[in-house]
Chains A and B, each alone.
Chain A
Amino acid sequence: MRDLRPWFHLILQRRGRLFVGALLLLATLISGIALLALSGWFLTETALVGLLFAAGIQAYINLYVPGGGIRFFAVSRTVARYLERLYNHNTVLRLLTDIRVALFDRMAQSGHRDRGRHKGAHWLSRLTSDVDALDTLYLRLVAPAALAAVVTLLVVALVWLLFTWQIALILLAMLATAFLIASWALYCRTQTLAGKLNERQEHLRSEVIEHLEGFSELTAAGRIGKHAALLKRQSLTLDKDQAVIETRTGWHLAFTQLLINVSAVFVLWAGFSLFQNGSVSGPVLVMLPIVLLGLNEVYAMLPDAFGKLGATVAAARRLNEEITPSGVQPANTAAGTTLAASDLSIGHPGSAPVMTHFSLSVQAGDRLGIVGVSGSGKSSLADTFAGVIPALSGTIERPDCVYLTQRTVVFEDTVKANLLLGNPKATDADLWRVLELVELAERFKREDAALDTWLGSGGNRLSGGEARRLVLARVLLSSAPLVILDEPFTGVDADTRARIAPLIDRWLEGRTVISLGHGPEALLPSDHILHLS
């Protein structure tokens, strides 16, 4: 449960909204209960007065107050419900934003910049489902639990007021038990299973993907059916465990409602002796059990949320790991005017170094090319120069730098927003100039929205070569004195590359450039070329 604390804290930032939302929920619930309870009171009152009338005895009955009350609650229940749903959906949507923005901010601050690269392809999909799990925290868990507690106390107070404190205490004990069965007890019984379910699902997902990757080999070996049977069996086990959680949730709900119903019977039974000695009126005696039956509605919301709480806590735990500061600081990077690296060990923390005893010195204004096949540690070297990963040992001295990563990252945004990342102060004219340079200006001038052209998810409206040139342009906009380009021309055809490489070289005049690639043709024109083996 401790894992949920930061997220509760975040949700509580919107205290005011949560409070109003909870009040509206309470109004809805109370209107519903009051409608039935008042009706029950009214029926009993009319039945008793009706008997007097039938016996020919004069009696007075006020029809206007209860009649008006019944009509009022009928309307207020509908109105409160409508307002509550609208208001709380608004709150939930705000919380959706809050959670994502906060998570993003904290991930951005937590330091480890090469996040995700070593966490596998499913990292993002898991992240998504974990964030989704937290979205329901308020409306499904916090609000109903708080509401159930408040309404329970109100009802107990009412019973104390109208009956006796002894009856109220016994009732409190019964309802508290019902509450615990619907919440804590169920959480304890499903925690382990629910918490692991998601992990097992993700594990199965990787296995299915492996199965598909090996489909040819497995088919050839005549083993495809056998391997699939293994996956089917695992799915079935997951289905069964899920059914176990659902079944437990169901029984806890049934037991909770049993206790509430029994408490209604208890109140009726205990009230009788009070009625017979005249300290309680008939209408009140009938009204209170109906009030108690009304509690079923709010208690029914609890088991579902608490049955899934184990999974929610597990999701929160994983997210908390994402936002824990890495503790690894690129402390051995110092500022300088030239790039000087001495005795570097390069690699990812926790795995064997890909390169050791690497020393290099690049003079200001130099053009250095580094050539190496994939797997030679070229990208790790570039990452280390740029400070994306810290050197395992050794020191680096370098000026401010701008770095084109091997992976092409285009954001789901406009051309302009994507380019401005490189230099937020650039004018439209600057943008057009750099687009001209990478031969993309024509491409976007043709679009109606020009610089405001929407690039779609992951830049999917661009071809691979276009996307590469766009991110290259973004890097070129920056005025940092050191430019590191890892495979600058991936996906760019040879003719275009031959035309734009010299132009880029001229654009970067006076700055230090390190370009890395799988072969000399993939680099910018260079003064020296270093071969990695």
Chain B
Amino acid sequence: MESSDPARVRRWLSELTKSSQRWIRATVLAGVWVGLTTIAQMVLLAWLAYQGVIEQQPVTGLTPAYLLLIAVLLLRAIGQGLQTRFAARCSEEVRRDVRRQLHRKWQSLGPVVLADASAASLTREWLDHVEALHGYFARFLPQMMLSVIVPLLILAVVFWLDWLAGIFLVLSAPLIPLFMALVGMGAEKVNQQHFETVSRLSGQFLDKVRGLTTLQLFGQTAQASSTLHHRSDQFRLITLKTLKIAFLSSAVLEFFASVAIAVIAIYIGFGLLGYISFGPSSELTLFSGLLILLLAPEFFQPLRTLSQHYHDRAAALGASAEIIARLDQPVTPTKKTTLATATDASVIALQHVSLCYDVGPEVIRSVTLTVKQGETIVLTGPSGGGKSSLLHMLAGFLQPDSGSISVFGQPAGEQPFGWLGQKGFWIQGTWADNLRMTCPDASDIAIEKALHQVGLADLVEHREHGIYSVIGEDGQGLSGGQARRLSLARIFLADYDLVLLDEPTAGLDATSEIHVLDALHKLSEAGKTLILSTHHQALFTLADRLLIVNDGEVRDA
């Protein structure tokens, strides 16, 4: 999948921000509160030192100030706690929104298109990539605002105390955007490099673990271990070269912060001694001097915190790019709500239906077909002739490019129906859980009966918990044939009017094949409309109509 452009990613992220605006705002507010109480804390500390050392006040006289200071510290701690509490909630709605968006996209892509992507990578998008958005909303975004607001607050106080000291800080203030860029570039580089190294290392490690049995069989594990060691060392040396440069940018920030503090300390010291004959320094006292000194590191602290959160941003941008690429995946063909003109509720009607994939010739060419309720239709013909495409359109998984489909008077896929693909599916859980996936209200007896219909009853009967025993408890799981019969059992249970089956017996073992054939007979006798594709001669006997699908066209055999 191609990655999206950065501007699009940023736009998408800022749109997501809307739903969580109030939490982000609350986080920033709490952060500002912490900034204000920090200033108050430093004011009181400096004032107490001044009163004690210079004014020589007795300790008892200062008790109210001490108590006030403790109260301020408490308020600060509460602000700090609330800040993380709000921050933890910042991305809750975002994550929920994105998961919803992604699932909606999966649904509109439909099962056929979705099957082109691996289940593992779709799952990674839905879980891990969405998770990666958290740090950006909870930590990076609020901190970015705080790293502007809090230094400004501190600057205002310092200016009020001594404008010359303020100017020292202001001199670094225009540098803040520069710092941010520097820190950003550095942190991004470090992050990228580190991530790359770790994933390459993990790749090498996993590669060896995956093939461990092979290595053991050839007696080559020691050799593999030394290769792993050697490769890792090479990565390390390459990485360190990059890091040497990348760390410089944060060193620059550190250097400016240190120098600013040193300059201010020396300026104030000389001012207090009366060595400086210009500017406001004659007004300096231990109170104002000490306060400026105490505030100076707090001026730089928000930026340092921001640089720690930079990797959150990088992770979110990377994840967003992949999520957006999925969301932007075109739905082909574009969904048209073509309802058949003849909406006879007793037939399935296809009228001049055509279908073609992105590029290339039509796979279905102007097919017109009517299926009566209760009929069993068997589609056969060479692979690639269009059997599956036809079934997928009847299921509503694919939309025709032209023509119309009506299933018992409604668009395809509107009403629930039975579908049996080439892979049966089961979930970790009990037999009952598995059957209630599609029929939540089914009774225990109905479930037992359905399992009996497909010949799975003996797997359940001798178990202590019957249908409430867990599938695959014995570590064996289900064979392909058993899984497909389980899916068939769901169809029995749900009592659908229409059942579509794509090669129901392909690749089955003999036992399963017999059971599947038998089950299809029962369904057909029960008056269900069955449409199935197959190469299997034994299934032809089921057919009320046998149709040959070849080269996109359908004709009676």
- Indicate if the CB atoms of A210 and B213 lie closer than 8 Å: no
Given contacts A114-B213, A124-B210, A132-B202, contact A375 B438 (CB under 8 A): no
| Chain A window 326-357, contacts with chain B (Cβ cutoff 8 Å), 1 for yes, 0 for no | 00000000000000000000001011100000
- Indicate if the CB atoms of A46 and B272 lie closer than 8 Å: yes
Instruction: State the Cβ distance, A145 to closest chain B Cβ, in Å.
Output: 18
| Cβ contacts under 8 Å, B235 to chain A | 93
Other-chain contact of A43, B194, B207, B268 (Cβ < 8 Å): B268
| Cβ contacts under 8 Å, A268 to chain B | 45, 48-49, 52
B204 within 8 A of A: yes
A48 within 8 A of B: yes
- Indicate if the CB atoms of B123 and A250 lie closer than 8 Å: no
| Cβ contacts under 8 Å, A121 to chain B | 120
Chain B residues within 8 Å of chain A by Cβ, number? 140
Given contacts A104-B208, A351-B474, contact A217 B59 (CB under 8 A): no
C-alpha spacing A220/B213, complex, angstroms: 41
Chain A residue with Cβ nearest B94: A239
Other-chain contact of A82, B103, B247, B293 (Cβ < 8 Å): B247
B354 within 8 A of A: no
- Indicate if the CB atoms of A239 and B509 lie closer than 8 Å: no
- Indicate if the CB atoms of A113 and B216 lie closer than 8 Å: yes
C-alpha spacing A402/B413, complex, angstroms: 54
- Indicate if the CB atoms of B78 and A254 lie closer than 8 Å: yes
Which residues of chain A from 165 to 215 have any CB-CB distance to chain B below 8 Å in the complex?
A: 201, 204-210, 212-215
| Cβ contacts under 8 Å, A246 to chain B | 84, 87-88, 138
| Cβ contacts under 8 Å, B425 to chain A | 210, 213-214, 217
Given contacts A236-B96, A251-B81, A258-B77, contact A223 B437 (CB under 8 A): yes
| Cβ contacts under 8 Å, A225 to chain B | 107
Q: Which of B149-157, B166-174, B236-244, B522-530 contacts A (4 or more CB under 8 A)?
A: B236-244
Other-chain contact of A240, B78, B92, B134, B297 (Cβ < 8 Å): B92
C-alpha spacing A373/B53, complex, angstroms: 93
- Indicate if the CB atoms of A61 and B273 lie closer than 8 Å: yes
- Indicate if the CB atoms of B293 and A40 lie closer than 8 Å: yes
Other-chain contact of B437, A116, A218, A242 (Cβ < 8 Å): A218
- Indicate if the CB atoms of A232 and B99 lie closer than 8 Å: yes
C-alpha spacing A50/B211, complex, angstroms: 76
- Indicate if the CB atoms of A250 and B85 lie closer than 8 Å: yes
Chain B residue with Cβ nearest A217: B419
| Cβ contacts under 8 Å, A94 to chain B | 236
| Cβ contacts under 8 Å, A214 to chain B | 425, 427, 437
B159 within 8 A of A: no
| Cβ contacts under 8 Å, A100 to chain B | 201-202, 204-205, 228, 232
| Chain A window 231-252, contacts with chain B (Cβ cutoff 8 Å), 1 for yes, 0 for no | 0100110011011101101110
Given contacts A85-B250, A251-B81, A255-B77, contact A78 B255 (CB under 8 A): yes
- Indicate if the CB atoms of A411 and B207 lie closer than 8 Å: yes
- Indicate if the CB atoms of A81 and B232 lie closer than 8 Å: no
Given contacts A212-B114, A235-B99, A262-B73, contact A82 B251 (CB under 8 A): yes
Which residues of chain A from 28 to 72 have any CB-CB distance to chain B below 8 Å in the complex?
A: 35-36, 39-40, 42-51, 53-54, 61, 63, 66-67, 70-71
Chain A residue with Cβ nearest B256: A78
Other-chain contact of B212, A115, A206, A352 (Cβ < 8 Å): A115
Instruction: State the Cβ distance, A1 to closest chain B Cβ, in Å.
Output: 25
Instruction: State the Cβ distance, A103 to closest chain B Cβ, in Å.
Output: 8
| Cβ contacts under 8 Å, A532 to chain B | none
B36 within 8 A of A: no
Other-chain contact of A220, B122, B289, B474, B500 (Cβ < 8 Å): B500
| Chain B window 94-107, contacts with chain A (Cβ cutoff 8 Å), 1 for yes, 0 for no | 01100110010011
- Indicate if the CB atoms of B437 and A227 lie closer than 8 Å: yes
Given contacts A251-B84, A276-B58, contact A46 B99 (CB under 8 A): no
A97 within 8 A of B: yes
Interchain Cβ contacts under 8 Å between A and B, 25 examples: A36-B294, A39-B264, A66-B269, A101-B232, A108-B212, A113-B213, A127-B206, A204-B127, A205-B127, A208-B126, A219-B397, A221-B416, A235-B130, A239-B96, A250-B84, A253-B80, A254-B78, A265-B73, A268-B52, A275-B53, A373-B509, A375-B479, A405-B217, A411-B211, A424-B223
| Cβ contacts under 8 Å, A405 to chain B | 213-214, 217
B163 within 8 A of A: no
C-alpha spacing A218/B110, complex, angstroms: 11
- Indicate if the CB atoms of A107 and B127 lie closer than 8 Å: no
| Cβ contacts under 8 Å, A66 to chain B | 269
A452 within 8 A of B: no
- Indicate if the CB atoms of A53 and B274 lie closer than 8 Å: yes
| Chain A window 472-506, contacts with chain B (Cβ cutoff 8 Å), 1 for yes, 0 for no | 00100010000000000000000000000000000
Given contacts A132-B202, A268-B49, A457-B203, contact A82 B248 (CB under 8 A): yes
> Top 8 nearest A-B pairs by Cβ distance?
A250-B84, A220-B419, A39-B265, A97-B232, A254-B80, A243-B88, A108-B221, A47-B286
Other-chain contact of B261, A36, A209, A253 (Cβ < 8 Å): A36
- Indicate if the CB atoms of A228 and B261 lie closer than 8 Å: no
Max chain B C-beta neighbours (<10 A), residue from A42, A77, A78, A135? A78
- Indicate if the CB atoms of B92 and A124 lie closer than 8 Å: no
C-alpha spacing A274/B209, complex, angstroms: 66
A131 within 8 A of B: yes
C-alpha spacing A89/B227, complex, angstroms: 22
| Cβ contacts under 8 Å, B62 to chain A | 272
B377 within 8 A of A: no
Other A-B contacts than A49-B273, A221-B416, A226-B440, 17 sampled, CB-CB below 8 A, are: A35-B261, A54-B274, A71-B262, A93-B236, A93-B240, A101-B229, A104-B224, A115-B212, A115-B213, A116-B209, A204-B127, A217-B487, A232-B100, A253-B84, A269-B66, A285-B53, A403-B217
Instruction: State the Cβ distance, B51 to closest chain A Cβ, in Å.
Output: 10
- Indicate if the CB atoms of A108 and B66 lie closer than 8 Å: no
Given contacts A113-B213, A286-B53, contact A78 B251 (CB under 8 A): yes
C-alpha spacing A328/B73, complex, angstroms: 61
- Chain A residues touching B, majority SS: helix
- Indicate if the CB atoms of A77 and B54 lie closer than 8 Å: no
| Cβ contacts under 8 Å, B48 to chain A | 268
B146 within 8 A of A: no
B74 within 8 A of A: yes
| Cβ contacts under 8 Å, B83 to chain A | 250
C-alpha spacing A86/B417, complex, angstroms: 63
| Cβ contacts under 8 Å, A207 to chain B | 427-428
- Indicate if the CB atoms of B95 and A239 lie closer than 8 Å: yes
Instruction: State the Cβ distance, B222 to closest chain A Cβ, in Å.
Output: 8
| Cβ contacts under 8 Å, B215 to chain A | 108, 421
- Indicate if the CB atoms of B70 and A262 lie closer than 8 Å: yes
- Indicate if the CB atoms of A478 and B273 lie closer than 8 Å: no
C-alpha spacing A77/B66, complex, angstroms: 32
B311 within 8 A of A: no
- Indicate if the CB atoms of A413 and B227 lie closer than 8 Å: yes
A314 within 8 A of B: no
| Cβ contacts under 8 Å, A348 to chain B | 475
B363 within 8 A of A: no
Chain B residue with Cβ nearest A401: B217
B41 within 8 A of A: yes
| Cβ contacts under 8 Å, B247 to chain A | 82, 85-86
Instruction: State the Cβ distance, A179 to closest chain B Cβ, in Å.
Output: 17
| Cβ contacts under 8 Å, A131 to chain B | 202, 205
- Indicate if the CB atoms of B114 and A261 lie closer than 8 Å: no
| Chain A window 401-424, contacts with chain B (Cβ cutoff 8 Å), 1 for yes, 0 for no | 011010001011100010001101
Chain B residue with Cβ nearest A76: B258
| Cβ contacts under 8 Å, A244 to chain B | 88
| Cβ contacts under 8 Å, B106 to chain A | 212, 215
A289 within 8 A of B: yes
Given contacts A131-B205, A246-B88, contact A220 B395 (CB under 8 A): yes
- Indicate if the CB atoms of A272 and B99 lie closer than 8 Å: no
- Indicate if the CB atoms of A232 and B203 lie closer than 8 Å: no
A105 within 8 A of B: yes
